[in-house]
Amino acid sequence: MELLAQYVVGGLSTGSLYALVALGIVLLYRSSRVLNFAHGDLATFATFVAFTLLTTFRLPFTIASAGSLATAAVAGAAFYFLILRPARDSTLLGTIVITLGLALVVNGAVVQIWGADTKVFPFPLSDTKVYRIGSLVISQVSIGSVFAGLVLMGLLYVLVQRTRVGLAMRAVSQNLVAAQALGIPAKRIFALTWGLASALGAAAGILLAPVTFLDPFMMVDPFLKGFAAAVLGGIDSMPGAVVGGLLLGVAESVFGGYVSVKFKTTLAFLVIILVLVVRPEGMLGREYRRRV
């Protein structure tokens, strides 16, 4: 039982980061019905920006992180304004291909600027310093990741549910034509959503980099896990993204501890298949109905 509790705690730490990635995916899908396959690469680019600010310019961690999040937000908003908005009449498949193209461009830029070598990301918390709570052992990085993830989720909830900007975001996602008729600047709201989603991905990248090390492909696996978490919780549900991320993190940790560490990566894909077969809308998602 103690071993199971340890696995659960470790899974919650990882799951909180999956939830951040999933929230970015869900935000974009709710607002524009776009699945952004460049989400992970934008996060990687922003994490390398933080690395440069920390190592080259010697900025404090908080300022470097803020600069990284701002870079991701600007990049996400610019991608919407410069690429997606002019191609708004493209098909769903065309939009997906556009985001895949952006992913390749961003990844190539990261390799060109910073190289393909693995780098150690400076982080104020230690992965080796641990705390004991009864029989549980928790590292500083795990505590920091969970705390930062919860704070960001809380801030996102306040923004979306308790502010006029959040009300505008919800209005645009529910009925674009009606929102525009009421005077809501839909283009700005879309750009804000893309920027916010990219910043969430960057936050996940900064929190993951000390554990997985920094390389141009570091967000490939977390993006797939975040996508699986979004599908599990409901691709149009923000609470579902959080629940799905935490459940997937715990499931992976328990599966790796009791079954196989080698095959725990495939668990996310198994989750996607099972959810799409049994309940396509996810645990907390709304059933999609189309009037014919």
CATH, domain 2-278, list 1.20.120, 1.10.3470, 1.10.10, 3.40.50: 1.10.3470
For position 282, what pLDDT does the model report? 87
Q: Alpha helix locations (H) across the chain?
A: 2-32, 39-55, 61-79, 92-114, 140-162, 164-174, 176-181, 186-212, 220-233, 238-258, 267-278
Q: Which of 226, 201, 220, 217 is nearest to 46 (CA)?
A: 201
For position 288, what pLDDT does the model report? 52
For the chain (292 residues), the mean pLDDT of every run of 10, in chain order, is 89 94 94 91 97 96 97 96 87 91 96 95 89 88 92 94 94 91 92 96 95 92 93 91 94 90 82 84 71 42
Domain boundaries, the chain: 2-278
HSE at residue 169, side-chain half, CA atoms within 13 A, is: 26
| Buried/exposed 104-115: b ≥16 CB within 10 Å, e otherwise | eebbeebeeebe
For position 292, what pLDDT does the model report? 40
Note the pTM of the prediction, 2 decimals: 0.93
